[in-house]
Chains A and B, each alone.
Chain A
Amino acid sequence: MRSRSSTLPMALTQSVRKPVRSVPPSVWLVILGVAALALIIAFMVVGIEGSPAYVLPRRLNRVGAMVLVAIAVAVSTILFQTVTGNRILTPSIMGLDALYILIQTALVFLLGGQALLSLGSPLRFVIEVALMIGFSWLLYRWLFLGSGRSLHLLLLVGIVFGVFFRGVSTLLQRLMDPSEFIILQGLFFASFNRVDPTLLLLSAVVVAGLCIPAWRLRHRLDVLALGRDSAVSLGIDYRRTVTLVLVICSVLVAVSTALVGPVTFFGLLVSALAYQLCNRFHHAAVLPIAVLLGIVALVGGQLVLEQVFEFDTALSIVIEFVGGIVFLVLLLKGRVR
């Protein structure tokens, strides 16, 4: 009926793999947990110059932002990869962060920068996140649940939507008043170094609120990872679960983009490492390991860059660079399926 004869032999040729790592996930969890904690403490206290009462709260703020971003990116990437059944995708590759930037730009363009600023960051954030959920839900629901659409079509359309969103954002930015553009720039060129404490607190609440349903989904996610047909056969309400996961992902991406701007390959880096460390695939192990890896990479990376190389804000670019190389390696190892 269908010429799928290539499927099985292909799977067979891939069967030669490295021997199983014998370190169980729980051991990795402990190692990474200790490492993350140690790095956070080190980040707080190493090289303090001047009054600790001045430096410590600022550093706490930055470390908090990094931890939140690590959680948001790691969880959203793993969930997204499970739902799409593909290990080289991240929500930002699919244009979700571009969508967030477009929403911000469009708000400034339509309402005016001053009006937007006068709303205050919590309310503004809530509005942006609500729009984000609305649009991404519409878009990705249409893409995912439309009948007979292949995954590859979805991905390609997603990527091109990303280009489209970025293009429209740039266009609107060119069309707007220069003073408005400066306000906009202030909005999304936030970095770890100047995160608004209110926004941080709000993000912490949102991330915590999303991690609970994500964690409760963990067994169902394991089943989803078997692919749609198997998941449906095992009684998963596919449509509902996928929708729920997409909503969680889009909010998490909104949070991380609001905090530090777009990061394309960071999620890929973290998830690829987490899969390597987990000898067996269970979300109950993969999710916390990915989060801890993210914290270690961000806090450790920032620490090394600041204390050893004396760079300032280049961390996201360095991570993109390393993440990009990981991606290439994955590609060349033929792990794209």
Chain B
Amino acid sequence: MISIDHVTKRYGATTVVDDVSCRLPGGGVTSIIGPNGAGKSTLLSMMSRLLLPDAGRIEVAGLDVGTTAGQKLARTLSILRQENQLTIRLSVRDLVGFGRFPHNNGRPTPEDRDHIERSLDYLDLTDLGDRFVDELSGGQRQRAFIAMVLAQDTDYILLDEPLNNLDMRHSVDMMRLLRGLADDLGKTVVLVIHDVNFASCYSDEILAMREGALIHQGTPEQIMTPEVLHDIYDVDIQVEQIRGNRIGVYFA
């Protein structure tokens, strides 16, 4: 479980995240949605200790994110940001191997190698293991970083806009993959996402933010209504039921 208590973040005079409190159950996929500048990524960054909140407290699986030792936290929670620009030259297998760092401090054991190969295999990267990361395509790169996170073997996986820069096919692949992480491996997946329909089709829970505040939390059925969506985005969105999923239509 992730619990967030009265968390606030300010930059100068602007409050980016404003007194947010909520509980996220363990397991499943949770999406954070909202318009630009709603504070979604900032909240996620604070959940993963990349940013320190100005006020409030966040616990992941009972560990206080602000005070728990980095390494201990790194065995519980991992974060993948959207920009993963490597300045160094690494093979895919090397990169995935870094995921084992919190467990082995850079001295790999046979068990670590198993983890690495399983992660590569899960993401269909075994054949690319010896290629350099900077030689991969965008989608492959993204998968390589997910494999690293997977090798980290944490119960909680946080992702900041994982669909950024991916085309339609790769976006669908990515969401199926995240769903699989939750369903097959029992991970708790939390992601920031722009597309409400992806959030609707693949999440168990949706958090909606606006202007720094958390304004709605619920299942896709509860969130995907014209009233709630209007509340979030200030846009009239029709919601249709298509093959069991609720789809918002906002193109016309």
Residue of B nearest to A148 (CB): B11
Given known contacts A14-B134, A219-B105, A234-B101, A7 and B49 CB-to-CB distance under 8 angstroms: no
Bound complex: CA of A2 vs CA of B45, how far in Å?
14
Q: Is B78 within 8 A of A233, CB to CB?
A: yes
- Contacts known (A8-B165, A280-B94); A223 close to B87, Cβ less than 8 A: no
Chain B residues lying within 8 Å of A234, measured Cβ to Cβ, are 74, 78, 98-99, 101-102, 152
**B21 at interface (Cβ–Cβ under 8 A)?**
no
Stretch from A39-47, A131-139, A224-232, A303-311 that touches the partner: A224-232
B118 on interface, CB distance cutoff 8 Å: no
Judge if A333 is at the interface, Cβ distance under 8 Å. Answer: no
Nearest-Cβ distance from residue B127 to partner chain A, whole angstroms: 16
Contact in complex: A281, B90 (CB < 8 Å): yes
B87 adjacent to A337 (CB under 8 Å): yes
Residue A50 at the chain B interface, CB threshold 8 Å: no
Interface: A86 (CB within 8 A): yes
A236 at the B interface (CB under 8 A): yes
| B90 and A1 contacting across the interface, CB-CB below 8 Å | no
Query: How would residues 79 to 107 of chain B score, 1 for a CB under 8 Å from any chain A CB and 0 otherwise?
Result: 11111111111110011001101100111
Q: Which residue of B lies closest to A240 (CB)?
A: B70
A11 adjacent to B73 (CB under 8 Å): no
Of all chain B residues, which has the CB nearest A276? B89
Min distance, Cβ A298 to any Cβ of chain B, angstroms: 26
Using known A-B contacts A219-B101, A235-B70, A235-B75, determine if residue A227 contacts B40 with beta carbons closer than 8 Å. no
- A232-B49, A234-B98 known; A219+B91 contact, CB < 8 A: no
Shortest Cβ gap from B212 to chain A (Å): 13
B236 adjacent to chain A (CB < 8 Å) = no
**Contacting residues, chain B, for A196 (C-beta < 8 A):** none
A20 near B132 (CB under 8 angstroms)? yes
Q: Is the CB of A85 within 8 A of B87?
A: yes
- Asked whether, in the complex, the Cβ of B74 is within 8 Å of the Cβ of A235, the reply is yes
Main secondary structure of the interface of B (DSSP, over half): loop
Report the minimal beta-carbon distance from B145 to chain A, rounded to whole angstroms: 8
- CB within 8 Å of A: which B112-149 residues: 132, 134-138, 141, 149
Report A256-303 residues with CB < 8 Å from chain B CB: 275, 279-281
Please determine whether B106 and A222 come into contact, CB atoms closer than 8 angstroms: yes
Neighbouring A residues of B95 by C-beta, 8 Å: 226
Contacts of B84 in A (CB 8 A): 227, 230
Kindly list chain A residues whose C-beta atoms are within 8 Å of the C-beta of B161.
1
Residues of B within 8 Å of A222, CB to CB, are: 98, 106
For the side of the interface on A, what is the size category?
A: 35 or more
Q: Is A177 an interface residue (CB 8 A)?
A: no
Contacts of A85 in B (CB 8 A): 87
In the bound complex, do residue A232 and residue B101 qualify as a contact, i.e. CB atoms below 8 Å apart?
no
A225 / chain B contacts, CB cutoff of 8 Å? 87-88
Find the B residue at minimum CB distance from A220.
B106
Instruction: Determine whether A146 belongs to the interface, using a CB cutoff of 8 Å to chain B.
Output: no
Contact of A233 among B79, B132, B141 (CB under 8 A): B79
Known: A219-B107, A280-B90. A235 touches B101 (CB 8 A): yes
Provide the residues of chain A in CB contact with B91, threshold 8 Å: 280
Contact A229 B106 (CB under 8 A): no
Q: How far is the CB of A5 from chain B (nearest CB, A)?
A: 7
A17 touches B90 (CB 8 A): no
A183 to B161, CA, bound (A): 61
Q: Is A212 an interface residue (CB 8 A)?
A: no
Contact of B41 with A by CB under 8 A: yes
* Chain A residues near B41 (CB-CB < 8 A): 1-2
CB interface residues, B 50-90, toward A, < 8 Å: 50, 69-75, 78-90
- B15 at interface, CB cutoff 8 A: no
Please pick, from B50, B98, B101, the residue contacting A229 in the complex, using a CB distance under 8 A: B50
Q: Are A232 and B70 in contact (CB under 8 A)?
A: yes
| Complex CA distance for A17 and B72, rounded to whole angstroms | 38
Say yes or no: is B222 at the interface (Cβ < 8 Å to chain A): no
* A85 nearest in chain B by CB position: B87
Question: Is the CB–CB distance between A227 and B85 below 8 Å?
Answer: yes
Contacts of B40 in A (CB 8 A): 1
Assuming the contacts A1-B36, A223-B98, asked whether A233 and B89 have C-beta atoms less than 8 A apart, the reply is no
> B73 contacts which of A1, A4, A218, A235 (Cβ < 8 Å)?
A235
Residue of B nearest to A229 (CB): B81
Q: A1-B161, A17-B135 are in contact. List 15 more A-B contacts (CB 8 A).
A: A1-B37, A1-B41, A4-B82, A7-B83, A9-B138, A219-B101, A222-B98, A223-B101, A229-B81, A233-B78, A234-B78, A234-B102, A235-B69, A280-B90, A281-B90
30 interchain pairs, CB-CB under 8 A: A1-B38, A2-B41, A4-B164, A8-B164, A8-B165, A9-B165, A11-B85, A11-B134, A11-B138, A12-B137, A14-B134, A17-B135, A20-B132, A220-B106, A222-B98, A223-B98, A223-B101, A223-B106, A225-B87, A226-B86, A227-B85, A230-B84, A232-B49, A233-B74, A233-B79, A234-B98, A234-B152, A235-B102, A279-B89, A281-B88
Chain A residues near B (Cβ < 8 Å): 1-2, 4-5, 7-9, 11-12, 14-15, 17, 20, 85-87, 148, 218-220, 222-223, 225-230, 232-238, 275, 279-281, 337
The 4 closest A-B pairs by CB, nearest first: A219-B106, A235-B74, A235-B71, A281-B88
